[in-house]
Amino acid sequence: MLACDERSPVAGGEKEEPNEPPIKITTEDTDEGCKVRVLNGAPVIRRIEVVLKEPFYHFNSLVGKYGFYIKPVHKIYKTINGVRRVYAYYGKYWLKRKGNKVVYAGSQKPRVIPDNVMSKLQSFTIIFEEEDVIMDCWVYEKLKKYFEGLHVEKTF
């Protein structure tokens, strides 16, 4: 069983309030294969994380009646060649409420959720490598205003 974000409405905790408008990341924006590294971008992502999660909180308020929720963020910690990486998966995993428990329901949209409800919501991944972050180019394009003044390099 996966625990959900402790401030998610699914967990019964208080929802974080963003101090900026939610970032619209949609299916039209994806650009497969292109990645960028933002040097010293990790503090920026930590500062705006509540804004990144807001569309998933909103989505959960719409689909909660079906008994399923998207976990706003799930983090995996790995050490590769002595370098610690944190993989932050935004909106990738589904949870299902069973009684007073929340259990993992997979990474595919449950059949009971109508396609039109999901039409524009898009999951994405941000990799933290020490104080740098690595993300798909299309995600960077949505967030670049937050990285103003930081060095950005393309990786493949």
On the question of pLDDT at 133 being above 60, the answer is yes
Task: Kindly report, residue by residue over 4-48, the tens digit of the pLDDT.
Answer: 443 444 444 444 554 555 555 544 545 568 999 999 999 999 999
Share of the chain above pLDDT 90, in %: 60
Q: How confident is the model at residue 86 (pLDDT cuts 50, 70, 90)?
A: very high
What's this model's pTM, rounded to 2 decimal places? 0.76
Residue type, 53: K
Contact 55, 86 (CB under 8 A): no
DSSP characters over the chain: -PPPPTTSGGGTSPPP--SSPPP---GGG--TT-EEEETT-HHHHHHHHHHHHHHHHHHHHHHGGGTEEE-SEEEEEEEETTEEEEEEEES--EEEEETTEEEEEESSPPTTS-HHHHTT---EEEEEETTEEEEEHHHHHHHGGGGTTS-EEEE-
Query: What pLDDT is stored for residue 17 in this prediction?
Result: 52
Q: Which amino acid is at 134?
A: I
| pLDDT greater than 90 at residue 73 | yes
